[in-house]
Structures are given as C-alpha cells and as structure tokens.
Structure 1
Amino acid sequence: MTAATTRSTCPYCGVGCGVLLTPDGQGRLTVKGDPDHPANFGRLCSKGSALAETVGLSHRLMTPRVNGTDTDWDSALDHVAKTFSKTIAEHGPDSVAFYVSGQMLSEDYYVANKLMKGFIGSANIDTNSRLCMSSTVAGHKRAFGTDTVPGTYEDLENADLIVLTGSNLAWCHPVLYQRILAARKSRGTKLVVIDPRRTASCDGADLHLALRAGSDVALFNALLAEIDRRGLLDRAYIDAYVSGADNAIAAAKASDPAITGLSDGDLKTFFDLWIGTEKVVTIFSQGVNQSSSGTDKVNAILNCHLATGRIGRLGMGPFSVTGQPNAMGGREVGGLANMLACHLDLENADHREAVQGFWASPAMPDKAGLKAVDMFRALGEGRIKALWVIHSNPAVTLPDADRVRGAVEGCDFVVVSDITERTDTARGADVLLPAAAWAEKSGTVTNSDRTVSRQRAVLAAPGIAQPDWWILAEVAKRMGFDGFDWTSPAEIFREYATLSGIAGSFGRDFDISDFKDICDADYDTLSPFRWPQSAAKQGGRFFADGGFYHADGKAKMLALTPRDPASMPDEKRPFRLNTGRLRDQWHTMTRTALSPRLSAHLPEPFVDMHPKDADRLGLKPADLVRLTSPHGTSVLRLRRTTDVAPGDLFVPMHWTGETAPSARIDALVAPVTDPISGQPESKASTVAAEPFPAKWYGFAISATSFDPDCSYWARARTGQGWRAELAGDTIPDDWEAYARSLLKQSETSAQVLKDPKRGTFRIAFYQDEILIAALYVGPEPVDLMRDFLAGLPGTETLWALAGKARGDMPDPGPVVCSCFAVGRNTILREIEEKGLTTVEEIGACLSAGTNCGSCKSELAGLLAAVEVSEPAE
C-alpha cells in the first residue's frame, strides 16, 4: 500500500466494508476493497465499487444559507442557537427536536445526543434508523435485556444452515451473501429464504418459503411448537438461562400455521432442516422489522434459538443485518428517542444520574421522546416548533410522506445539515448548513456484527463545509452550554469510551473503556475491533453460557400471538404494497444517482405486478400504473412478473422529487407503527391500482441537465449526460416548442421527424454536427434502443432520429452487471456466439458477476432463456 492510500470504510449498508482510498490531488479518488478488513476481505458490491464516481462538487452545498441567502458560519450558527434557545425559553425543551441519521459517524451522533438529552433536556432526538432496525432493538431488549447482537460474521461461514427471512441479502448486503455462497460451495451449507416475493436471494436456495405477507410470527411459532413436539428443546439451557419458555411454547401451539399460506410439505421441509441442523443462523432484516408487529416477529425468531440453546456459539444464532453504515453506532450512542448512550436505559434513574453526572449537564429527560412518525406528526400539529434534520430526507422516506413534507414546510423553524440542497426536505428548510461528506470527515462506525472501524478523511471539504460534530458543538456553545470544547473526533471518542466504562460498571454489554485513554496517534491508526473491549470482555460472542441482562440474569421467551397487518386488502384497495431497495441504489439516491453505471441497471421507478392482476386491469407491458391510498398517489412503470404473488405489489423506495416526483412511494404508506418499537409498517399498506391515462409517452436524452415539466417523468444520469422517461395527460400545441423548452435548446439547429397521423414526433438538436439532445414521442410507450441512445450525446450522430443502433455500432442493452457495466445484449451475444453455458463462463468471458456477484441471478436467467447453439468451428 502506497503512502497516499488511506484505509476507510464504505458509507453504504451495515456490512461495514473496508475500502482503500487513493486521492489524485484533483479532488477525485480511486476506491478499492481493503483485503485486510474483516468484514469484506477486499470485496465490494456494485455501489462500493462505484464510490469514486460519487465524489465531486456539482451537487454540493458549500456555504451556510439562511432564508435562501448565502452567509458565513458565525451568522448562521448564531441564528440557529438563538432561535432554538428562544423556542425552548418560550415553549419548553420538548418544543424542539433533532432528526438524525445512520449516515452520521458515532462521534457526530454522540454530540447530538449529548446536546439534546443532557443540555436541552428533551429526548426528542430520533434517527432514520427507526425506520429500519428499531424492532430489532426492541426485540433484543425484550429477550436479552439489552440490544445485543450475539454472533459475528464468521458464523456465516461456519453454519450448516442459513435462513434468510425478510432479507434480500443478495441485493441489499451482497458481500455477506457472497460469504454465504462461498460457504455453500466449500462446506455444503444449506440455504432457506423466507420472503413473500421471489428475489435474487432465492436463486440457488434449497428452499424458498413464499409465506403470506406479515405471517412470520405464525411461521416461527409453528417451528417452536414443532421443536417441542419432537422433544428437541434444550432443557438444560432453558432451565439455567431462560424464563417464560412454557408460556411461549403454549402460545406457539395455539397458533395456526395455516396463516402462513404455506403447504404442509414446505413447512415439514423447513422444520426438518431447521430442527435437524444444530449449526443454524437465522438472518433477518427489513422484511421482519418494518411491520406493525415487527418486534413480535423478532422475538418469534429469538424464541426458537433460545429454546434450542443455539445462540452465541460458532455457526449458530439469530443475526440482524442493518441497513445503514452506522445504524449500530447510533444505537450505541443513544441516538434513538427511548435510549441513553452506551446501552443505558433512559427510564432508569440510576442510569440517568450517572450519565448526567458524567456530562455535568443541567437537565436530563426521564421519559422517552417522540419517535420518528410521532415526531413529524407533532411537527405538523405545531407542537414541535424547531427541528434540526441531519443527513436524512424524511419528506421522502417517512410514511405518509406528503404530510411529512407539508409539516416540514409549515414548521416555524427548520435547519437541515447535509451535503446537498437538492432534497425534498432541504427545500423546506429555513437554514441549510453545509456538512462534510464521506471521504471528507473522520470518526468511527459500527457494522452489523459489532465491529467498529475508522472512517477517514482523504479529501478536503468543499467551500466552508464542516463535520457534523463541529457544527453541533458550535451551536451548543452558542446556546451557553459547557462540555462541547472538543477540537477533534479523537477527543469525543475518548469521552465516549470513558462513558462506556460507566455503563460497564452497571453490567451493560457495550463497554469500550479500553480506549478511554487512546492517544490521537493511536486513534488515527485504529484498526477494526469488535466490541466490547474492556477488562471484563474482549469482543467475541454473547450468551452461549447465559449472561443475559435482565435482573435475574436470564433471557425471556415471549408468548406471541400472530397479528394481521394494520390494514387488509378489500374491494376498494385490493393490493398489498411492499416497498424495498434495489441492488444499485441507496436510500434517496443523493449519492448513488451521481454514478452513471449505477443508474443504468434500473433507471426508472417501477411496480412489480403479477400478470393475472395486470391482465385483469387491462395493463400491457410498459404501461404506466397509478397507485392510490388514502395518503397519496404514485405513478410508476409496470413490470409484469411472477416474482410477486397475485394481490401483492413491490415498488422500490429510492425516487424523490429530484428524480421522479410521482414515484415518491412512501407518500402512499400509512403512518402505522409497531406499538413497542415505533417502527413503521412499510411493507403492508393497501392500495388501489389502475392504468394511468397518458395521452403521450416520451424519451429524452441530453448532454446537459434539464427539468421535465409533465405529469410523469423519471430522470437519470448517464455517462454522456442525462436521460428521462416522460408522459403527459395533455398534448402540447407545438411539439417543437415544447422540446426546445424542455431541453433548453431555444436556438440550436434541429432535425425533426413527425407523423401527425400516427401521433409520433422526434427531434434531435445539434451543435456543429454534434448531438446535444433529442426527444422521441408517441401515443404508446416508445420502442427505442434506450441504453444505446443514452450514450450518443456529445458524439457526431446525424442519424439519431432512427432511435436504434447502426449495424457497426452494436447496442449493449440495459446494464446487468453494474460493477463492469456489461449490458444484456452483450451478454446474450457472447452466450450465443461462444456457446457459454454457465454463469462462471460468462464471468470468464466478460467479467460479469465476478466482483460482488449480485447480478449472478440475472445472468442465470439469461442463460435459461437462451437455447445455446454449438460454437462455430
């Protein structure tokens, strides 16, 4: 490794992959996987591989802005501090709130939590992690007494059976999925996927259980009852370390497995695998958590592992995988409204007194604050009068998102700290504060298996942007608070580690007090470590020999009764809406949408619908579909697929007002939450569906950005500029005038091809015979070689109006492998011309599938669809 290369961590999911960053001195980076990092051993997914494409200045917020006017830090910070202080003085501490993010580093999180809980004196600080893993936190605390992940990533390589439930690991955590596939190959590990939807994770699985949406408790209750029926309870473990087993088993026996919709044969196969395999790891994620009964679902899984003693030992245990890079770190610092730092309990008077004494703080709340959904409800009702949002976009990601957006816009005072002003939330802010981004800031993050890693700065922050801890500390000092005089994240880390020692003295699990005296130089070179790190315990697993954190030292099994989702399909809204992530995009795309190759795989929002439902509604392939709920409306492109069951829909959650306004899918999601965790039910809202009555459809390409103005549009970046899908419910009077206005080409020379009888219109704009932009319009979805056309702006292409490739310029087709930008048509040509018969042969020929492997299921699908001819002699 050269001196110019720095070890850091990826800013995407909770796998916590290590990366090697090499700046070029011009503001750009080379990014590679760190072969020595214990999370990924050099592997990166498509998003991580494209990180270098997401740095730059074109999208950045670089100076503070107050009421739309650029200003300096002193003026902006004074304004924020005075307004928050005045609001608290007039309306009390609970009239203000912070909404923070798993994008923050632990040191940033720590400062925000200290300021709100210890000095403002309110618990109104919550995080977007509430939306992805708070049911796991609640389930862990109910079962274990604290929020402890028992196992480690090494368990994945040592399990004989892995169960994925509510997790499309192949797309959402590809590096972990590749570790599992390697174990399957080397030691024959079995794989079961539990998901109502068929996903990439199902390909190659030994069993896919397409259970009825929301019926996870019934399934794991049935498993627990079967464990008992077969006499395979670990009575020694239960008697020594577990309470509540008899009641939990009785409730499981009373539960009806038919609720799952699974056949007796599939249930028996699953039971035989799970019960007959000692070394089993059950991985769960958003499909379990994002539910009005998410906490019960978590505990149903934990019940089965506790009943068999399969926890905390090599190759076995329940395992929650988090969706954000520092969701775990946020849990550790108390970033949730119902927690204190270091896994101490907010409602425990001794814990509160200890933290308040350590901070020497003037106030400490004695009850939980407002969780995310309730916080923004209070904002809309005027009970929250000042809000600070940090690195999050709740106007898109929270349920009932239109109401949330309105609440932000109507609030008396809103501060947004972010790297860009181009978010739906930032547009409603009174104050914008420019924050340092990934690769510009330093601190620590904690991944899903409790490994703490350094994130390091290798680029200068642009303009006068500053790290979040500095911004928060400056506001705290200007509010008159002591205890915020840090000069570096290392100082904050030392304070945090010292506080964790106090937590350790209470017998809590999170204790990294070994680092309380770490010097700056050692912090700078800190290698990844797994907590705890204290005199009492060094990393490792939890609970193989008990040691739980309830007062009696035992775990609790819970008696659980399956509950239906909060709303059920009916004649008015017959579809159940499931929302989730795509392989190549991240949250609301403020980072990933900057990468052309990440945008090339699935550049347009869509709804997956079963062909039977599409036929019943009279929908043809590529039609637009309008979905409606009592909370909002969305318009999306139809994808007919048997991956979803009849009556179920799947829509990705990434598009925003910046990229596709009609696809803000959380506008349809009901603001229903789990009563224990406060996590929204994001996978079971009911909606109606109907064809969208478009009068015209269009496709546009341009070398420069443009702002569509029609009833439906979806815009994506390309290597040559931009592309957009368009549709309208009214036809312009003058298509050429519309095209010139749309593509900002008022004076540019143009080629025009129109057929008024057929309702088609095509126009291409040129500058010195170089294609600048083009628009293709028709009364039906326009049949074009889209991916080929997207690469033409900036080239001498006088025949662009044809809408297809010339014979000497083959069309690569839609991107399948984002890591190496390999298109579908390229793969099909190689399969046919070279007689490729396996995914491995495709990889050897084109490299597709050889990096993160998350496209392998699509490669297998292409092979299955092609009748391979004999290669030519």
Structure 2
Amino acid sequence: MSPQFRQTVHTTCPYCGVGCGVLATVTDAGVKIQGDPDHPSNFGRLCSKGSALGETLSLGTRLLHPEIGGIRTGWDEALDTVAGRFRETLERYGPDSVAFYVSGQLLTEDYYVANKLMKGFIGSANIDTNSRLCMSSTVAGHKRAFGEDLVPGCYEDLELADLVVLVGSNTAWCHPVLFQRILAARRADPKRRIVCIDPRRTATAEAADLHLPIRPGTDVLLFNGLLHYLRHNDCLDFEFIERHTEGYAAALNMAKETAPTVPSVAAGCGLAESEVAQFYRLFAANERTVTLWSQGVNQSTQGTDKVNAILNVHLATGRIGKPGAGPFSLTGQPNAMGGREVGGLANQLAAHLDLDDPGHRRQVQEFWRSPRIADRPGYLAVDLFRAIGEGRIRAVWIMATNPAVSLPDVHAVRRALSACPFVVVSDCERDTDLSRFAHVQLPALAWGEKDGTVTNSERRISRQRAFLDAPGEARPDWWIIAEVARRMGFGAAFDYRSAADIFAEHIALSRIAGAEKRRFDLSGLQTAYDELAPTQWPVDAGNPQGTPRLSFDGRLTFVAVRPQAPAHAPDTGYPLILNTGRIRDQWHTMTRTGKTQRLTGHLPEPFAEVHPIDGSRLELTDGALARLESRYGSALVRVRFSAGQQPGTVFTPMHWSESNSRQGLVNALVNPAVDPVSGEPEFKHTPVRVVPYRPRWYGFAIARRRIEFPDAAYRVVIPARHCWRHELAGEVLSEDWQRWARERLGPEGDGWDDWLEFADPRAGRYRCAWIVQGRIEFALFVSPSHELPPRDWLVSLFGQDALSETARAGLLAGRPLSADDDRGRIVCACFAVGENTLRRTIASETLTTAEQVGTSLKAGTNCGSCLPEIHALLAEAQH
C-alpha cells in the first residue's frame, strides 16, 4: 500500500548559512524531504546533509520533559526554579552575575526575546552566542568599514562574476549548494575563473583554476600586497574612493610599507612568485570580482584585520554593491545573521543600533518600556566562561549549543561549568557532553516542530515552518524565555502568544534603525507572517519587495592593517600547527547528522590529516592511531596521510564529542587566544605535537545496540542502519576474547549456541559473530594491527532478517564471497554510492568523466561535494 501524503510545508534548512528552501511532506512512511525549486537560495538543490534531514527526526535521544537534577519534573516547577534562582542571584550579586549563552541555531524570534530579557530587563549585556566562534570577526570588520554589519551582495553575484576568489573557505564541502552555482556559471562561460586561497588543498582547491597554498596566518600580507599592486598598476577607482571613502591614504601607505613587492609577499606567504603574480593579475583584470571568505579568515587572532584587508581591495577598486562584484562573507550557521539583527552578541544593541550610543540605548529602552538598559558590552564567549570559572558569573542559561564541546580549551570550560552554582540548559537532546553540568534541563522544540524566521548569508529572511507535532512536553525557546521573564516580574513586556507577535515587534523596532540611517530596516514589510516569502532586507518604503544588492551613498572606511604573526608560534616542544574545521557530511557536534548512516559513512572517525613527509618523520602509520598534544589538552585520533596538507601542519575536524568518541575531543587542544577586536578564538593555529599511539590491540565491534566498552582506550561509536559500529583500541590484552565479548554483551539472553569464531592467540587475532534465529546480532574483530577488514559489508548484514549461507560463509573473513556484494565506503552520501561500486562501474563501463558516472549511478548529481573523489577514482582508473 502506498504511503498517504499530507500537506507539503515550505520551510528552510537548519544547517549552514546558505539558507536553502526545503519542501517537507509528512507521510505514513516518514518525512519526505526535497529542495524547494522556488526558493531563490537553492532552486531545489540540497546538500547531503539537507537531503538526509528526514532521517534525523527520531525521538530516541530527545529531551522531552523538564528535569531538575536529572529527575523529571513539571514545567511550573522547572520555570519557577529558573526564575527564582536568577532573581536571587541578581538581588545578591547584581545584573552582571548572570549570563545567557545562545546560538545561531535559534530562530530570530527566540534570539529577540532572549536579548530583550537580558539587556532590557535584567540590565546586563552578558548575552553572547556561538556565532562569536565563527562570524564575529566579519561583524567587526563590517562595522569598521561600513559602520554597520552589512553583506553588500547577493548570491546572483556569484554567477555574474568573472572572477570568484575563495579565501579560507572549503566551499565545496561547507556550502556545497553555492559552490555548485559557481561551478555551473563557469561551465556556462569557461572564461570565468576561480581562485582558492587556503593552506590545504581541499575539494574546493581541486576545482579551482588557481590554488594559493598560503602559509597559515599570512592573509593580511597577501591582500596588502594586492592593494599596493593595484595602485602601482593604476587599477584603482579614484572616483569611487573620493566620493565614498575615507582612510585610503593610511591603508595604502601601510600596504606599501608591509607588502612592497610581489617577491616579498611571496616569501612571506610561502608561495611561488608566479602564483602571487597570477592572482594579482587576475584580480586587476576582472572588474566583476567577488571575494568570499569563511572560517579560515574569521577564526584568527587577527581575523578582523584579515576581513578589512579584503574589504580594502574592494573599496579601492569600487567593486562593491555592483552586479558580479563585492566582498561576501559566507555564514556558518542558519541564523547567525538573524541573531546579529536582534543584538544577540554581547557588544551589540538590537536592530543594528550601537550599545555605546546613549541615544540608541534610550530609544530601545523606551520602545521596550524596560526598567533599565545595558550600557556597556558584556563578556564575550571565551571571557564569559572564564568569568564563570572565576565566580564572577554565578548563573548561566545555555540555549541550543554545546560549549562543553565547541569552545577552545574546552577542559577549562568544563571546570568552569562544574564550579558554577546554577546552570540551565535548553536543548533538544537529553544526553550530551553539556547536560552533565546542568542543574535544570528544559526541553526545546527542534527543526520541523518550531516556527519562526532565519536570515541567510545574503540578508534573506526565510520562514522555518512546523510540520511535526511538538513531542512530549517540548516547547519553543521563545516561550520558555518569556515564561521565565514573567515569573521574574516582567510579564507585561513578554506577553507573546505566537512567534508572529515577536516578529511584528522586531519589525517595529527596526523602524528606529531606519530612522537612524541604518540599512537594517524591515518597516516596509507588509506580508502576513504565515505567507512571508524569502525576502532580503532592507525592506522599506523605497524597497517594498526587498533589496538584493546594497548601494552606498555615505562614507565607507579603509582600515590600515599591519600583518602580524599568530598569537602562538610553533616551537621545539609543539612544532606543528593545528587547524580545525568541518567535514562534508557532519554538522557541529553531530547530534542531528550523527543519526543517519548516510552521513556517518564517509568519514566515520575523528582523524588527523598530515602530510606524508611529516608522517614518515614522526613515525606515524597511515590508518593507525596517533595522539595530538598541545599545552591545553590531548586527543586520540586516526591518522590520514594527505599530500594536500602542508608539511608542518595538521588538520582535524571538530565534530566529535566525548559522547561518541573517547579521547576524541579536539577542542581540548585549541588555545584560547582571541582576536582583540572581535573576541573570536584562534581555531586555525594552535601549536601541537603528534606522537604515534601504539595500543596492544585494535578492533571493531558491530552490534544491534550501543555498547560502552569501558576498557577500550580508544572507542568511537558510529550509528549505522540497524546497528551500532564501534571502533576500538586498547592497552590491555584479554586472555579470553570470547569471555570478554560476552561480558560486554550482558546476560546470555537467547543463548550462545550460534556463535561463530576464529582465534589465533599466538598472533593476537580473534574474530567472532553471534547469530540469533538466523539474524546476526554481534560481530567482533580483534588484531594487533590496525589493518582490519572493511566494515561496510558487515554493517549491511544487520539489515537482513536472515543471513544467507553465502553471507555466513564470509562472516569471519569480513568480506563477501562475491566482490559485487560489497559497495564499500560511502563516497556519494546523497545517493549512498560506495567506493567499490564506483570502481567497478568505472571499469566495467569504461567511464572517463564525472558526467558519465552521474548518468550511470547518480553519484555527484545532487550537491556535487563528492565530485573531487569521483574525479580521483576516474584518474586512478585511467592511470
């Protein structure tokens, strides 16, 4: 019987800042997810993560009821407890003794209510957000140059540009829908060029026409050199400079002083002179140039200066606010910009108004009718948790984020949370690395259940609409905050009945911003909330349909920036540079993306990517384990050799937490140094050492339930279809592996009658499989070496109701009798196409292009982020 379809809902993806439109249809068989062909951000395309959203909506790990001290309670008791403890702390220690730490995962309406409560009614600016960790350097750079946090361009500019420059952004993996739009534009006009500036040779670099593998931390030098080159070669727009800018002379003099020649820039950046010269010539020759950047620029102790160095070259050439030309910041989270609109950072006021402007503060206070207003910046994220640890903040409310995993020097953060007298956590998930520190847990709605708005990287406001019922007692974040405010005595100002009420107030407050000549203005927005279509601000009397591209009539500011070394340099004790970041199919701490095998199959374990030269010198083994160590902590990860990694550097993803990876907490290593202007941490440059880890045994276990394996020093838990996969290594050898396995499985249950095993005690090898009523329940493989059979075929067996005789015959070998039955490691997550399937098809059908592979297997035809690996397999086959 075919599934019964209910109404299709137009909503917005909850992942990155591209802000893709999604069509969600609830059926009897589950939720069907499609890209929205009418949404102007994606025109129907979705990346691997977005395509798999329907597989991440399970409730098994959800927080569904309020808890106090880990014990379920009712909403009234929980809310009264939070309000009472915050009120007592305020009365005893003052408004700066409490704090909120919020998230770009919140909707604008949630953000608005939290900011209003903290700044207008509690009277402190101690509300900061995880956007501090990814976007605050861009915010600060925008404010220095434009006077306001503005992204001038729109996504259409990426398709109109003759030159796209990508700086510190693996766009192919982190913003794949946008990257495919860029590649499609180049295919339509092969004269268009893409330049990638990144220390690593990433999937983005592979697709670029020119890759500059810049020495980490030298971006300011490169762009200062470009500014001086443009002037020296008469490529500046002096009319634009004279009419619209100030500070040009100082910026140019600084560029000339610090980056006088192409050879000096090349030497400082670790590049070939020809590479620098080619980039400079391309930039000079192409008026329609868009420069995009992301965390590789922002997450630095001089991130703000890097942003302004980029903005300077666009101001100098007048390439801003024009079709196909402009500087463009790629946002990391779905609503980082929406949070900035309502003042969600500790040094902001709402509606792009200035916290340090008494007139702005007075207007916002009068609008809110609040008893007080914060009059100075609050603690920024890293300092906020330092203040908690030092006892200056005695009550903190953390919403929709996990600082126990995501902040630098995370063990210090955990010590601070352990010492804090009162910690409140609003979240969707019950058991996280953060939840163990919570005195009160409040169940929030998740994507698909909540209703509100988000703003993407191009200033486009889109609706997230609910298509699922609220589970358990979960509630909207704005409702939870408003209920606490009411119990603190501020009820009249927080009497909201819906998210629409809050958005209407947000629009009304933006009128003040418009009157103060701020570009953020929603005063012309007349569409009913439920019918709101994706719209780019400003929306005012002159632009009632929104504004795709910003023009500038006022004064823009050049900022003279001097190249500086990163805060911490490598030394003999810690000789390598650690760079952290994201991978293709995972998001933040994996509480959503980690639920589906489609997304866990590509890169299932935490890893350290090192150059083979370093690997050999450090006596590392590709595929084995190594320990990363810094002055702040350590992590145990899998080693991956990559020629795309610069010698002397290490790349490690940031997604794994202690909930799914014992000793895999990468941010335990990261130094807590921050940009002095933005407060953004230095995630891209921590001195580390890498040492081989030589356990007594390696292994993996696949089981129908999650098993802790407490005596495994290395344990990564990977959800898979119908089972859990456990990657293991240990320092204590068992004398009886059969007993060891059965003890971890627990009581005998259905008996051990159908227990297959192979044991070679002298060689230290053991393999077993437990079958119950014809169905596999458990498999364990142990070896003194990391070289073990692939896991993918074994995992697939757990989806069978009864094992075939040929499958049983291959069990202890770890591979099928026929190679055709093993698809291999997932390469294309969108269509679940494995590496072995690709190799066989390329060979049997003599395929030579990615287009042919797509026609045959569909691989690479959706988000395209797997195309670099497909190209590599094609090249391997041709070789």
Q: TM-score range by the shorter chain?
A: over 0.9
C-alpha deviation, 1:160, in angstroms = 0.4
User: Match of 1:752?
Assistant: 757
Aligned match for 2:258, one of 255, 258, 264 = 255
The 3-state SS of whatever aligns with 2:716 is strand
Q: Is 2:529 the partner of 1:523?
A: yes
Q: Distance in 1 between matches of 2:766 and 2:216?
A: 45
8 Å contact kept, 2:633–2:669: yes
User: Match of 1:631?
Assistant: 632
Amino acid at match of 2:634: T
User: Match of 2:870?
Assistant: 859
Please list, as runs of the form range in 1=range in 2, the aligned pairs for 1:268-667 lying within 5 A after superposition.
Answer: 268-481=277-490, 482-515=492-525, 522-538=528-544, 539-540=546-547, 544=551, 546-547=552-553, 553-667=554-668
8 Å contact kept, 1:772–1:794: no
After superposition, the Cα gap between the structure-2 partners of 1:618 and 1:232, relative to the gap in structure 1 and judged at 3 Å, is: same
8 Å contact kept, 1:512–1:531: yes
Q: Distance in 2 between matches of 1:743 and 1:301?
A: 57
C-alpha deviation, 1:411, in angstroms = 1.0
* Cα deviations by residue, 1:272-320 (Å, 9 ceiling, x for unpaired): 1001100000000000000000000000000000000000000000000
Larger mean Cα displacement after TM superposition, 446-455 or 615-624: 615-624
Aligned match for 2:156, one of 134, 139, 154 = 154
Aligned match for 2:57, one of 43, 55, 58 = 55
8 Å contact kept, 1:699–1:782: no
Q: Distance in 1 between matches of 2:722 and 2:530?
A: 40
C-alpha deviation, 1:741, in angstroms = 3.2
Q: CA RMSD in A?
A: 1.4
8 Å contact kept, 2:134–2:298: yes
Please list, as runs of the form range in 1=range in 2, the aligned pairs for 1:162-177 lying within 5 A after superposition.
Answer: 162-177=164-179
C-alpha deviation, 1:363, in angstroms = 1.2
8 Å contact kept, 2:716–2:728: yes
C-alpha deviation, 1:259, in angstroms = 1.4
C-alpha deviation, 1:232, in angstroms = 1.5
Amino acid at match of 2:177: V
The 3-state SS of whatever aligns with 2:797 is coil
Amino acid at match of 2:533: S
After superposition, the Cα gap between the structure-2 partners of 1:738 and 1:809, relative to the gap in structure 1 and judged at 3 Å, is: farther
The 3-state SS of whatever aligns with 2:7 is coil
Aligned match for 1:714, one of 709, 713, 716 = 716
8 Å contact kept, 2:524–2:543: no
C-alpha deviation, 1:513, in angstroms = 1.3
After superposition, the Cα gap between the structure-2 partners of 1:569 and 1:36, relative to the gap in structure 1 and judged at 3 Å, is: same
User: Match of 1:823?
Assistant: 834
Q: Distance in 2 between matches of 1:495 and 1:708?
A: 52
* Cα deviations by residue, 1:437-485 (Å, 9 ceiling, x for unpaired): 0000000000000000000000011101000000000000000013000
Q: Distance in 2 between matches of 1:80 and 1:120?
A: 14
* Cα deviations by residue, 1:787-808 (Å, 9 ceiling, x for unpaired): 1111122532534222111227
C-alpha deviation, 1:766, in angstroms = 1.7
User: Match of 2:10?
Assistant: 7
User: Match of 1:85?
Assistant: 87
Q: Distance in 1 between matches of 2:377 and 2:178?
A: 34
Amino acid at match of 2:660: T
Give the TM-score taking structure 1 as reference length: 0.97
Q: Distance in 2 between matches of 1:437 and 1:583?
A: 22
User: Match of 1:786?
Assistant: 791
Q: Distance in 1 between matches of 2:690 and 2:774?
A: 45
Aligned match for 2:224, one of 221, 228, 241 = 221
Q: Is 2:688 the partner of 1:687?
A: yes
C-alpha deviation, 1:722, in angstroms = 1.0
After superposition, the Cα gap between the structure-2 partners of 1:342 and 1:761, relative to the gap in structure 1 and judged at 3 Å, is: same
C-alpha deviation, 1:809, in angstroms = 5.5
* Cα deviations by residue, 1:541-562 (Å, 9 ceiling, x for unpaired): 5554x33xxxxx3111011110
Amino acid at match of 1:833: S
C-alpha deviation, 1:720, in angstroms = 2.4
8 Å contact kept, 1:30–1:52: yes
User: Match of 2:262?
Assistant: none
Q: Distance in 2 between matches of 1:252 and 1:746?
A: 73
List gaps (5 residues or longer) in structure 2: 260-264
Please list, as runs of the form range in 1=range in 2, the aligned pairs for 1:182-201 lying within 5 A after superposition.
Answer: 182-188=184-190, 189-201=192-204
Q: Is 2:770 the partner of 1:765?
A: yes
User: Match of 1:741?
Assistant: 743
* Cα deviations by residue, 1:363-389 (Å, 9 ceiling, x for unpaired): 111110000000011111111111111
The 3-state SS of whatever aligns with 2:363 is helix
Q: Distance in 1 between matches of 2:642 and 2:348?
A: 43
8 Å contact kept, 2:634–2:668: yes
C-alpha deviation, 1:740, in angstroms = 2.0
Aligned match for 1:142, one of 141, 144, 154 = 144
8 Å contact kept, 1:136–1:320: yes
Q: Is 2:805 the partner of 1:812?
A: no
Amino acid at match of 1:844: T
Q: Distance in 1 between matches of 2:627 and 2:748?
A: 33
Amino acid at match of 2:643: T
Amino acid at match of 2:743: S
Identity %, equivalent residues: 53
Q: Distance in 1 between matches of 2:678 and 2:742?
A: 52
User: Match of 2:808?
Assistant: 798
Q: Distance in 1 between matches of 2:746 and 2:417?
A: 32
C-alpha deviation, 1:540, in angstroms = 2.6
8 Å contact kept, 2:765–2:784: yes
Q: Distance in 2 between matches of 1:613 and 1:640?
A: 9
Q: Distance in 1 between matches of 2:519 and 2:747?
A: 62
Q: Distance in 2 between matches of 1:396 and 1:808?
A: 40
8 Å contact kept, 1:325–1:446: yes
The 3-state SS of whatever aligns with 1:613 is helix
Larger mean Cα displacement after TM superposition, 719-728 or 644-653: 719-728
* Cα deviations by residue, 1:702-727 (Å, 9 ceiling, x for unpaired): 12222232111111111121111100
Amino acid at match of 1:772: E
After superposition, the Cα gap between the structure-2 partners of 1:45 and 1:744, relative to the gap in structure 1 and judged at 3 Å, is: farther
List gaps (5 residues or longer) in structure 1: 548-552, 869-873
User: Match of 2:115?
Assistant: 113
How many residue pairs get aligned? The number is 857
Q: Distance in 2 between matches of 1:759 and 1:3?
A: 56
Q: Distance in 2 between matches of 1:380 and 1:804?
A: 52
Larger mean Cα displacement after TM superposition, 642-651 or 703-712: 703-712
C-alpha deviation, 1:56, in angstroms = 1.5
Aligned match for 2:27, one of 24, 28, 33 = 24
Q: Distance in 2 between matches of 1:40 and 1:851?
A: 11
Q: Distance in 1 between matches of 2:489 and 2:742?
A: 55
The 3-state SS of whatever aligns with 1:479 is helix
The 3-state SS of whatever aligns with 1:389 is strand
Q: Distance in 1 between matches of 2:744 and 2:181?
A: 47
8 Å contact kept, 2:342–2:352: yes
The 3-state SS of whatever aligns with 1:113 is helix
* Cα deviations by residue, 1:402-455 (Å, 9 ceiling, x for unpaired): 111221122111011010112111121111100000000000000000000000
Q: Distance in 2 between matches of 1:821 and 1:133?
A: 33
